[in-house]
Structure 1
Amino acid sequence: MTSSEWLSMLALVAVAALMVESVRQLRRRWALVKVEGVSMEPTLRDGHEVLAKRTRRIATGDIVVVAAPDPDLGWSETKRAKAPWWIKRVAAGPGEPMPGTGEPVPPGHYFLLSDNPAGEDSRRHGPCPAAAVFGTMIREF
């Protein structure tokens, strides 16, 4: 092989590595999540998809994607491995009064509600730790 062939081969490998890393970075910052069930109706319907962006800038009223709580233990301070995603609305942030009780949301937590009162949310599982929140919804498809 000539030096120009080696150089071309090296450039091709470098481009491939950059493309793989770019896709990996995109997947860490963005998620496409399918809406399952009726908990967010009428805002989001079963079968639709939402695009979410990883962020820590979360405000009351935002729709967020979170790791689902354990059915028996609720949300824990650590993320559950391979937990399904839930889509919920932020009803109150840290220090704000929780709907129903008026007590403040603990630091580093969010009180999440379904738009449909029949859905499961913080009323059953308690405030959600910020570590369980992936990010906010950007767009519905």
Structure 2
Amino acid sequence: MTSSDWLTPVVLILAAALMVESVRQLRRRWVLVKVEGASMEPALRDGDEVLAKRTRRVAVGDIVVVAAPDPELGWAEAPSAKPASRTSARRAKAPWWVKRIAAGPGDPMPGSTGTVPPGHYFLLGDNPAGADSRRHGPVPARLVLGTMIRKF
């Protein structure tokens, strides 16, 4: 067997491994989320898809992707950093919400006399008919997946 006989399969295997790693890296940095409902109209409509960049750097006015709140508890903080309950496991697979940041930590909460607690954001939909922080309270910053870069 000559070196050229085994060189081609090795190059193909390396190219495939490089492609797999590239896709893995892209998925760690970017996420595509489908908009459901009318809460972000007119900016985003039901069925639109948004490309979001995973980041913790967000600002007031940004459209962000966040973990959906529990229907009864809202965005209540878990008692520990690594909760072991079934609710926490289910929440990790929760659907994503797309909302706009209306206020950051220390800012006045819209429609309230209080301020946004440290480490939280107050989210609003562009359409007042949707559910957002007015119903579920401020979202913990750790539940923000990232900011919208583009809609499709």
**TM-score over 0.5 for the pair:** yes
| Letter aligned with residue 102 of structure 1 | T
1:85 deviation in Å? 0.9
Question: Which runs of 5 or more structure 2 residues have no equivalent in the other structure?
Answer: 79-87
Identity of aligned residues (%): 77
Matched, 1:64 2:83: no
Where does 1:71-82 land on structure 2 (aligned, <5 Å)? 71-77=71-77, 80-82=91-93
Equivalent position of 1:53 in the other structure: 53
Segments of 4+ in structure 1 off by > 6 A?
none
Gaps of 5+ in 1: none
Deviation at residue 64 of structure 1 after TM alignment: 0.5
Superimposed CA distance per residue, residues 62-83 of structure 1 (whole angstroms, 9 cap, x where no aligned partner): 1101110111111143672211
| Residue equivalent to 1:30 | 30
2:15 — aligned with what? 15
Q: Which whole-Å CA distance do the structure 1 matches of 2:151 and 2:57 have between them?
A: 19
Instruction: Tell me which amino acid in the other structure corresponds to 2:128.
Output: P
TM-score of the two chains, using structure 2 as the length reference: 0.85
Q: Which moved more, 1:46-55 or 1:3-12?
A: 3-12
State whether structure 2 residue 122 is matched by structure 1 residue 111. Answer: yes
Residue number in structure 1 paired with 2:100: 89
Cα RMSD for the two superposed structures:
1.6
Q: Is the 8 A contact 1:92 1:111 kept in 2?
A: yes
Could you tell me which amino acid in structure 2 is paired with residue 44 of structure 1?
L
Q: Which amino acid aligns with 1:77?
A: E
In 1, Cα distance between equivalents of 2:19 and 2:63: 31
